[in-house]
Structure 1
């Protein structure tokens, strides 16, 4: 198995993802919901990565190197329209982390993202969204104090510090809150039901 070629494929997926994201930022449309173009690219990348994982499991650092392993994580993290794929990857990534072959931070982000889509509280507070007051805030967490303890254990900053980072980033990218929070939440719930996150 030529892992070098697989690593290049995975990195190319990540680069295509980030290039499209940058294009949407430049167009000022990143905050306008989940664009069809982005959804299509995310699904395409996920299917390509799934074929790779059928051969080698989760692309760990020892197989594909740090850059490609982190790129694989990004592809998984962005495959939000494919719940079963994300859950499968979560299990594979957890196994890799337990074997010290992947990042526990990456696993925390993936577990939190899955929890948010399933309407469950986050354990690490890595996922943020606009709240009813038009402020970028962490999605629901189980317990703020416990979250900060867990974050410290895996080398993350505090939730308070991350909140500042996320709000500054949103400002730099000209992201804006939805004009109709209630409507956006309803649309998100319909989408989550349609793709299979919730019943």
Structure 2
């Protein structure tokens, strides 16, 4: 369920996600965007390594784990289907309903809960909920400031770190760094304004991410451009 969320970030989803194996939609997109394939495979392998590292561990807070997974599933289901006004209004309502609880969780844990507490998949679920907490950029900024150790431990991917970095910058009215946040313009995806755009591929390469043109190519194949310039909800 987290695949769509990640690509518009590797892509656009999922943070961890668009690295799911056996996804025919993604496979079809990569046929048209072959430059993205090695990066997608590398992300998939890293996600598998993170999962296997904790595969035998029993989360210390199983109730919280299940709650995060359930909330993220509702989040992702709200983002399926055509970009109609009703769909956008529903996902905004879902985000608003999830916000108080994820805010409480972050306050209790001083950031995202750890993999030891909830498992790697629920860490990803918590990240997704924060990524979509656009009504509370202070919350997003708080989490961003606290997750570097989790990136170092492999609990948060560099991709997700870049996604949240750009999200916080865009939501603060600043220029993004990695070009992950896209906007529909004249029927095509393009990156929202970014700092030193001529250097964006260097910044992306430094964290192991595909060139921006490949990122946009895959996004174009997998995510139909919404009407009326509705921004993608990665």
What secondary structure, in the 3-state scheme, does the structure 2 residue paired with 1:122 have?
coil
2:84 & 2:201 partners in 1: Cα distance? Answer: 28
Asked whether the 8 Å contact 2:60–2:118 carries over to 1, the reply is no
Partner of 1:13: 71
Stretches of structure 2 that go unaligned for 5 or more consecutive residues are: 1-58
Q: What count of residue pairs does the alignment treat as equivalent?
A: 172
2:87 & 2:137 partners in 1: Cα distance? Answer: 16
What secondary structure, in the 3-state scheme, does the structure 2 residue paired with 1:35 have?
helix
1:165 is matched with which residue: 218, 222, 227? Answer: 218
What secondary structure, in the 3-state scheme, does the structure 2 residue paired with 1:129 have?
strand
Flag the structure with more relative contact order, 1 or 2, with Cα contacts below 8 A and sequence separation at least 6: 2
Partner of 2:226: 176
TM-score normalised by L of structure 2: 0.65
Tell whether 2:158 aligns with 1:104.
yes
Asked whether the 8 Å contact 1:137–1:163 carries over to 2, the reply is yes
Asked whether the 8 Å contact 2:177–2:200 carries over to 1, the reply is yes
Please list, as runs of the form range in 1=range in 2, the aligned pairs for 1:16-27 lying within 5 A after superposition: 16-22=74-80, 25=81
Partner of 1:196: none
What is the aligned-residue RMSD (CA, Å)?
2.5
What secondary structure, in the 3-state scheme, does the structure 1 residue paired with 2:156 have?
coil
TM-score normalised by L of structure 1: 0.75
